[in-house]
Structure 1
Amino acid sequence: MAAVWVPDPAQARESRIVAFATWLVDAGRASFADVTDYRALQTWSVADPGSFWEAVAEFFAVDWSTPPRAALAERRMPGAVWFPGGTLNMGEHLLRAGAADQDAVVLIGEDGERSAISYAELRTQAAAVAGRLRALGVEPGDRVASYLPNCVEGVVAFVATALVGAVWAQTGLDYAAPSAADRMAQLAPTVLIAGSGYRFGGKLHDRRGDARELRSLLPGLRHTITVSTGGLANPAGGPDASSWADALAAAPVAGALPVPFDHPLWVLFTSGTTGKPKGIVHGHGGVLLEQLVSPGLHMDLRGDDAFFWFTTPNWMMWNAQVCGLLHGATIVLYDGRPTSPGPDALWRLAADLGVTVFGTSPGYLEASQRAGLEPGRDLDLSALRLVGVTGSVLPGTANAWFRDHVSARVQLGSMSGGTDIVGIFVASAPTTPVHDGEISAPALGAAVQVWSPDGVRVPPGTPGEMVITEPMPSMPLRFWDDPGDRKLRDTYFATFPGVWRHGDLTAITERGTVVIFGRSDATINRHGVRLGSAEIYDAISDLPEVADALVVGVEEPDGGYWLPLFVVPHGAPADLPDRVRRRIVERASPRHAPDDVIVVPRLPHTRTGKRLEVPIKRILQGADPDRVVNRGAVDDPAALDSLIQAARERRAGR
């Protein structure tokens, strides 16, 4: 299959990734016959991880307060020792690149309201809030918790937290207080920064009551900083609280606190759909290096870019987008439903603000396709040069729709990584072509292989387990409250000791591109043949009659195997099950055809929009729903209840 998009040679040579390869050659660190050859650069990057990440730090001029003694002192997983002796501060790096009068952060609300701060204002405000945190007794390693919508204040507060060496953690205001406490209470934060409300779907959601409840659920909390969000006043209320205005008026810190390379920067949480959310601890240095590479080299992000990724504070992409500040870019936040006031809301935002790097999900592309949008015809998207896609598998039909209805000029870069490394394992780059339904290549510094269940590397094109065979500096330092790293080892290293198993059913093609079929623990294994759920979603992705879908393969106690496909209709076609089944047979194969196509009014997801394949499979097998899914982490508990009821009725009728 030929590439459907190829880089313009002149533009590729002007990219930062080619500048990096050229610098490596000029410095005598590497030898490439062609500095635009991505495969050669990627192969070099994983052959000696210490040399690669040391080169990244030097190329991007990492500002060491104390130089490290080495790059990679202990090359093992888990427990790699990166840049021992080195000290730095991530917050300082976030503030150093942008021009003083340039917009650093722009916030667009669902109602179109715009607010922004410049880099000069960001530096001033972050220093003041950092001073307030210090005055409140926040010490290095103390936790600062955020309960805010997507807002400018959240960015300022995160940078301020990093400046003083405290540890950042957050949930969005859409989480109810008990669900937020499931995450935050583990950390025993010293300070809580709490908002008052947010707008979503044309409605104002007042969360002041939940914020008060959350304060009572956090052990050891000493102080709350209240922020007025969503247009709702948020008075401080009591001696143990103060306002955001008080924080901005505080005496600023004189500079950032140097901390060790592996000093905790933030705690990110797993989705928590199948149990208590696990807190993943990442360090200042590891995040810094990963976020220099992923947006800096793979997305070619620079100071003249407007960088927008649709996300919420509940998803690691919020953290990754904020790291656009490392490159002096303007980061664009959106607070609201992505399809409000209309299905083209995000495309209009991109056009109005001249967005150059736009991040979205396969779901939004599919929704745009179903809505019959013509963004390339109806809007001025001439500033766009890259649309990044992550969050789930991108079907090949979405690539085709994008070329025909958005732009054949713009690169559609699919990528995958995760909260685990707050970065990427596989991705595109300015020097890689695009093939429909495939991710361009393993990422720089990511030693990606595909193994069989018995730990043998499989031939090209064969599906298997995605593994990472070399350490990366942004891998978790640890899980929160995990003595002996038991949970961490069980999560990533129990299957293949010393090798990271990511949990994706994956194949690497003969040409080196990557195909992800879905989570390996949700793999459909029908009559001994492994099928990826993504193949089924891909087959029906452009059916206008299907608004959403969920497929699971259920091993049954009697030895049978049931493959149901739940679909949410768009409209009310009476023959929808037959249409869906025919399309899957035509586009995939007869063995992919579901046993039953079950029409449901709606489907539940995680709060970051991911399908609940594994929990639903276990419920259909008869597991106690309360043991396999946390309702507080589900976007639509009523939709979950309807599937639980359907499972009970099926078992009762057997």
Structure 2
Amino acid sequence: MVKEGDLLWTPSPAFAEASNVTHFLRWLRDRRGLDFADYDALWRWSVTEIEAFWAALWTYFEVQSGTPYQRVLSSRDMAPGVRWFEGSTVNYAEHMLRFSGNGEDPAFFHLSETRPLGRTSRRSLGAQVRIVATRLRSLGVKPGDRVVSYMPNVPETAIAMLATVAIGAVWSSAAPEFGVKTVIERFSQIEPKVFFAADGYRFAGKDFPRFDEVQAIAAALPSLDHVIWLPYLNEGAELPPVADAILWRELMDHSEVPPHLFVYERVAHDHPLWIVFSSGTTGLPKAIAHSHVGALMEHLKLCHFHLNLKPGSVMFFYTTTGWVMWNIVLAGLLVGAAVVLYDGSPVHPEPDVLWRMAAETGTTCFGASPTYVQILERKGLEPGKTHDLSRLEAILLGGSPATPESFAWFYRAVKSDLWLTSQSGGTEIASGFVGASPTLPVHAGEIQTRMLGMDVHAWDDAGGDVTDAVGELVVTSPFPSMPVYFWNDRNGRRYHSSYFDVFPGAWRHGDFIKINRRGGCYIYGRSDSTLNRYGVRIGTAEIYRAVEQVDGVLDSLIVCCELPGGNFYMPLFVKLRPGTQLDDALRQRINARLRQDCSPRHVPDEIHQVADVPYTLTAKKMEIPVRKILMGWAPDKAASRDAMANPPALDAFIALAEDRRRIAVA
């Protein structure tokens, strides 16, 4: 059985030599006289000589700016308000569309449950973006105006985003599976001027019309001037009864706009690019604004060095338009790669649908969540034996901590020669803190390294560095993709309290991390959902890994509630395979596994069977809301059902809380 830290893969000399990291190392030596022995030396330079590192990237990537920057960084203080590349004027979309190749090179491959596999060339993408951008300008959209979307992961959504950004307007997106309340909570904060909306979407063979939802959302947004309507489920769908609605095909009914006649709006260093939102499981979601220059520099670095994308690469990650991973996948265009867009269930009509798509598109980098891997493993799939994955070079796991078993499955069932990457970051930075390098070996369950320019450390409660021990993930130096601000955050108080209140002068992200002596990283789940039992902190990820290896267990969730008198209540909830019941024998097997793989302190006080584990719309287990409910919070204050992927899953926890309350009263 594979163990955490086992060596699974080492890059061949040819693979490492051809990597973008190695090319950059040669460039630094030849152009700057800087000679670094390996990735670790390069990382250390990137976080100590911060200005020199990012200035080198500006030149290396040939960033196009209407005016020269005056300085790379305004201050090394790790705090909100740090300014990057002041004086520059750039446009993110301009850089995404500058790699035209021969014009017929693919920009997008796209597949959905309603449309067959299609292909959009770079020439066609540029032409469509210029038309939509020109039409938006004619509708009165100006730099700084907000444009929002309630559309699936299809080319029209990406075109709308690129067109919005191209004219300096600010983009924000919600996935069509989001409920009305969730969307209004987000979009009402930013007062959009234009609303792109689809008539619905299809998932697992079932249609979900969104006519009424679009009407309700538009009615709640008095700032709207126009709704752009995409008939997606039904090409003949009527326009919603909202003011100034325009059909997508009418928007596109415009003569071609030649590239030399189109002007990208190059904006200042702190001009907002898009607004992304925190999950919003409790309270109003945070409206997080990133800048053009910050996202551009971060995504150029990420795609080149940590995803190793190049012209000719094909990038896929299973995501929806409501998750920041959608933005990150589209960033593949920055380096001349093609991007694969998929809308629908990842296991319908067959569980191998994504692998068939990967084979047909020649995907070189395939991304999904560890949860998806567990589904495939349980179904006994071996995609490497049934599909031509000869072009596949890399795997990107993200969204939650990946287990050693997930790593081993890829090498067993997909491909033995594979650069398997697990990466971790957040919506707040639209990137990763820890990730991968194609020059380093892969160890089971381990994230290869800290990303370039990310001064990441594991700290104990006193703010001291720890190695080979679990601590708080902190970042001690500024980086370009820090939010420029939270929208409507008066005096920046919410921004500051979110990341800087615990350790002044350091960004505390809210994850538990362990960094070993070779620089490998392990993420152990959210520190704000930590199981703090009698003074011992336990990460939930290590419990899930052990429990979900027990035969019959499909999923699990654990919380720890503080009780009066210094006591604790730590229940474990398990979703079981159909036909399996939670009896004493299964409870004993679960507890024995936790004692063996973890420690006696990891054994729960109780184990309960539930029909489903509650998840957010971005596939995060809802540990904190469940904990609050069990501690007596009103359910509607503890969790927003509109921000959930499976709202009925919460009912079992509400019922348990009520039972405990009745027993306590009796």
1:507 paired with 2:499, answer: no
> What are the residue-to-residue correspondences of 1:211-290 with 2, within 5 Å?
211-236=214-239, 240-250=244-254, 252=257, 254-290=262-298
**Given that residues 568 and 603 in structure 1 are in contact (C-alpha distance below 8 angstroms), is that contact kept between their aligned partners in structure 2?**
yes
**Given that residues 195 and 234 in structure 1 are in contact (C-alpha distance below 8 angstroms), is that contact kept between their aligned partners in structure 2?**
no
Find the aligned partners of 1:592 and 1:284 in 2 and give their Cα distance: 45
SS of the aligned residue for 2:275 comes to strand
Counterpart of 2:52 in structure 1: which amino acid? S
SS of the aligned residue for 1:429 comes to coil
The match for 2:92 is 90
Change (3 A) 1:562 1:227: same
- Describe the superposition over 1:293-315 as per-residue Cα deviations: whole angstroms up to 9, x where unpaired: 11111111011111110000110
Find the aligned partners of 2:181 and 2:509 in 1 and give their Cα distance: 30
What's the CA shift for 1:126?
A: 0.4
The match for 2:58 is 57
> What are the residue-to-residue correspondences of 1:637-648 with 2, within 5 Å?
637-648=647-658
What's the CA shift for 1:201?
A: 1.4
1:360 paired with 2:362, answer: no
1:556 paired with 2:558, answer: no
SS of the aligned residue for 1:653 comes to helix
Find the aligned partners of 2:427 and 2:626 in 1 and give their Cα distance: 22
> What are the residue-to-residue correspondences of 1:158-557 with 2, within 5 Å?
158-236=161-239, 240-250=244-254, 252=257, 254-458=262-466, 460-557=467-564
SS of the aligned residue for 1:465 comes to strand
> What are the residue-to-residue correspondences of 1:63-78 with 2, within 5 Å?
63-76=64-77, 77-78=79-80
Find the aligned partners of 2:100 and 2:220 in 1 and give their Cα distance: 39
In the superposition, the TM-score normalised over structure 1's length comes to: 0.97
What's the CA shift for 1:250?
A: 3.6
Find the aligned partners of 1:84 and 1:204 in 2 and give their Cα distance: 48
**Given that residues 505 and 519 in structure 1 are in contact (C-alpha distance below 8 angstroms), is that contact kept between their aligned partners in structure 2?**
yes
Q: Which runs of 5+ in 1 are unaligned?
A: none
Find the aligned partners of 1:436 and 1:9 in 2 and give their Cα distance: 21
Q: In angstroms, what is the RMSD of aligned CA positions? A: 1.5
SS of the aligned residue for 1:538 comes to helix
Find the aligned partners of 1:56 and 1:233 in 2 and give their Cα distance: 48
**Given that residues 149 and 157 in structure 2 are in contact (C-alpha distance below 8 angstroms), is that contact kept between their aligned partners in structure 1?**
yes
Counterpart of 2:343 in structure 1: which amino acid? D
Find the aligned partners of 1:382 and 1:577 in 2 and give their Cα distance: 44
Counterpart of 1:254 in structure 2: which amino acid? F
The match for 1:21 is 25
Find the aligned partners of 2:540 and 2:610 in 1 and give their Cα distance: 18
Change (3 A) 1:610 1:232: farther
SS of the aligned residue for 1:51 comes to helix
- Describe the superposition over 1:387-411 as per-residue Cα deviations: whole angstroms up to 9, x where unpaired: 0001001111211222222222111
Find the aligned partners of 1:363 and 1:287 in 2 and give their Cα distance: 28
**Given that residues 548 and 556 in structure 2 are in contact (C-alpha distance below 8 angstroms), is that contact kept between their aligned partners in structure 1?**
no
**Alignment partner of 2:116 out of 113, 117, 137:** 113
SS of the aligned residue for 1:347 comes to helix
Counterpart of 2:617 in structure 1: which amino acid? R
Counterpart of 2:624 in structure 1: which amino acid? V
**Alignment partner of 1:621 out of 626, 631, 641:** 631
What's the CA shift for 1:373?
A: 1.2
What's the CA shift for 1:527?
A: 2.6
Out of 94-103 and 578-587, give the one that drifted further. Answer: 578-587
Out of 620-629 and 11-20, give the one that drifted further. Answer: 620-629
Find the aligned partners of 1:261 and 1:279 in 2 and give their Cα distance: 19
Find the aligned partners of 1:525 and 1:224 in 2 and give their Cα distance: 49
The match for 1:593 is 603
What's the CA shift for 1:381?
A: 1.6
What's the CA shift for 1:623?
A: 1.6
SS of the aligned residue for 1:4 comes to strand
Counterpart of 2:606 in structure 1: which amino acid? D
- Describe the superposition over 1:57-102 as per-residue Cα deviations: whole angstroms up to 9, x where unpaired: 1111111111111211322222111111001111111111142101
Find the aligned partners of 2:415 and 2:589 in 1 and give their Cα distance: 30
**Given that residues 98 and 303 in structure 1 are in contact (C-alpha distance below 8 angstroms), is that contact kept between their aligned partners in structure 2?**
no
**Given that residues 227 and 242 in structure 2 are in contact (C-alpha distance below 8 angstroms), is that contact kept between their aligned partners in structure 1?**
no
The match for 2:577 is 570
Find the aligned partners of 2:106 and 2:571 in 1 and give their Cα distance: 49
Counterpart of 1:93 in structure 2: which amino acid? H
SS of the aligned residue for 1:512 comes to coil
The match for 1:653 is 663
Find the aligned partners of 1:250 and 1:70 in 2 and give their Cα distance: 42
Find the aligned partners of 1:544 and 1:337 in 2 and give their Cα distance: 26
Find the aligned partners of 1:360 and 1:117 in 2 and give their Cα distance: 23
SS of the aligned residue for 2:55 comes to helix
Find the aligned partners of 1:439 and 1:288 in 2 and give their Cα distance: 24
- Describe the superposition over 1:539-591 as per-residue Cα deviations: whole angstroms up to 9, x where unpaired: 13334512211111221224321221111111223343333222222322222
The match for 2:640 is 630
What's the CA shift for 1:232?
A: 4.7
The match for 2:144 is 141
**Given that residues 196 and 232 in structure 1 are in contact (C-alpha distance below 8 angstroms), is that contact kept between their aligned partners in structure 2?**
no
Counterpart of 2:209 in structure 1: which amino acid? D
Change (3 A) 1:607 1:414: same
The match for 2:7 is 3
Find the aligned partners of 2:595 and 2:381 in 1 and give their Cα distance: 28
Change (3 A) 1:486 1:239: closer
SS of the aligned residue for 1:333 comes to strand
Find the aligned partners of 2:355 and 2:632 in 1 and give their Cα distance: 43
The match for 1:81 is 83
Out of 326-335 and 73-82, give the one that drifted further. Answer: 73-82
What's the CA shift for 1:426?
A: 0.1
Out of 126-135 and 367-376, give the one that drifted further. Answer: 367-376
Q: Which runs of 5+ in 2 are unaligned?
A: none
Out of 584-593 and 41-50, give the one that drifted further. Answer: 584-593
What's the CA shift for 1:292?
A: 0.5
